[in-house]
């Protein structure tokens, strides 16, 4: 199993540009989520999904869109990038259930918006 994969690893955008961060998992996990990691602020939940066709907002959803058309993929879209979105983005997945919720994280995407 490849686990959770993310592309690209690094990206530089100009203010106002759009892009999609890709996330895929091959573990048949129902739950997938996106976090951003900023110094001194830990990981903050952007959006999450409990299954194909179902998404919901996390703590900091503004400026980001998601969709979940398949179990495997959970892309994160930035429609109009802003410098405040400069961050490291992590995708994670897990089995839902009473004894799990252990999240498996991808390697991250480091995004810089100039």
Binding mask 12-31 for another protein (x = CB under 8 A): -------------------x
The only residue of 17, 20, 22, 45 in contact with another protein, by rule CB under 8 A: 45
Contact 83, 113 (CB under 8 A): yes
Q: Which of 14, 98 has the CB closer to another protein?
A: 98
The dihedrals phi and psi of 83, each to the nearest 5 degrees, come to: -55, -30
How many residues in total does the chain contain?
Answer: 114
Q: Which stretch binds another protein (CB under 8 A): 14-22, 44-52, 63-71, 76-84?
A: 44-52
* Subset of 50-89 contacting another protein (CB under 8 A): 50, 56, 58-59
Binding of another protein by 41 (CB under 8 A)? yes
Which of 36-68 are b and which e, b meaning 16 or more Cβ less than 10 Å from the residue's Cβ?
A: beeeeeebebbbbbeebeebeebebbeebebbb
Distance CA 105, CA 107 (A): 7
Footprint of another protein (CB under 8 A): 31, 33, 35, 40-45, 48, 50, 56, 58-59, 90, 92, 96, 98-99, 101-103, 105-108
């Amino acid at each position: 199993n490849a686990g959770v994969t993310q592309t690209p690893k690094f990206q530089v955008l100009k203010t106002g540009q759009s892009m999609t961060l890709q996330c895929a998992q091959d573990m048949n996990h129902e739950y997938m989520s996106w976090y951003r990691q900023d110094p001194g602020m830990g990981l903050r939940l952007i959006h999450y999904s409990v299954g194909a066709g179902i998404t919901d907002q996390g703590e900091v959803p503004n400026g980001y869109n998601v969709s979940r058309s398949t179990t495997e993929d959970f892309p994160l879209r930035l429609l109009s990038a802003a410098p405040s979105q400069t961050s490291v983005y992590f995708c994670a997945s897990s089995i839902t259930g009473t004894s799990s919720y252990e999240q498996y994280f991808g390697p991250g995407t480091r995004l810089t918006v100039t």
